Amino acid sequence: MKKIVITYGLIAGAIVAAMMLITMPLFKSGTLNHDSGELYGYTTMVIALSMVFFGVKTFRDKHANGAITFGKGLKIGLLITLIAAVMYSIAWEISLVTQDMGDYMTNWIQQNYDEMKAAGATEAELKASKANWDKMLEYYSILPIRFVITMMEILPVGLIISLISAALLRRKEFLPSTEQV
């Protein structure tokens, strides 16, 4: 199980990390904005975390005689997701330093503030929102907290894909193995 988790986790992590490092310069140039970036980011996460499905299936077919419990499948999926999430957070930290992305959060907060203002938010709402975002920026400046916050972007996606994969692959008749174990 360990080899499968590490292999598929590293593949998923390499995909999300590479896309992070490729797309961050596009933010700096203005080619991507925060809205389109979310679309690209979450699409990349789903593609990368498809490795969860393939990892669980590989374990089921090659090491579990074509049968796996929901719990075991979920465990494998979550471990693959955890490796990918760590790599994703490392890539973000590298982007912050090497691509001068230190102003990313400030710009994102300003965009949210401008959108609230354009939508007709009251001065009290704007002031409260700014206070919340200022507190967030304070926490975000602390590396371990920022690392965990970044991991929290991808972990829910991995949890959903792990749940779906474990549920589908626990059934022997779902994409049965063609190999004899």
Residue-wise pLDDT for 149-172, tens only, equals 999 999 999 999 999 999 999 988
Q: How confident is the model at residue 104 (pLDDT cuts 50, 70, 90)?
A: confident
CA–CA separation, 169 and 53 (whole Å): 8
Q: How confident is the model at residue 101 (pLDDT cuts 50, 70, 90)?
A: low
User: What is residue 136's predicted lDDT score, i.e. its pLDDT?
Assistant: 86
CA–CA separation, 71 and 170 (whole Å): 9
User: What is residue 181's predicted lDDT score, i.e. its pLDDT?
Assistant: 46
- The whole-number average pLDDT for the span 116-122 is 89
Q: How confident is the model at residue 102 (pLDDT cuts 50, 70, 90)?
A: low
DSSP for 99-136, please give it.
Answer: TT-TTHHHHHHHHHHHHHHHTT--HHHHHHHHHHHHHH
Residue 20 and residue 93 in contact, taking contact as beta carbons nearer than 8 Å = no
CA–CA separation, 110 and 129 (whole Å): 11
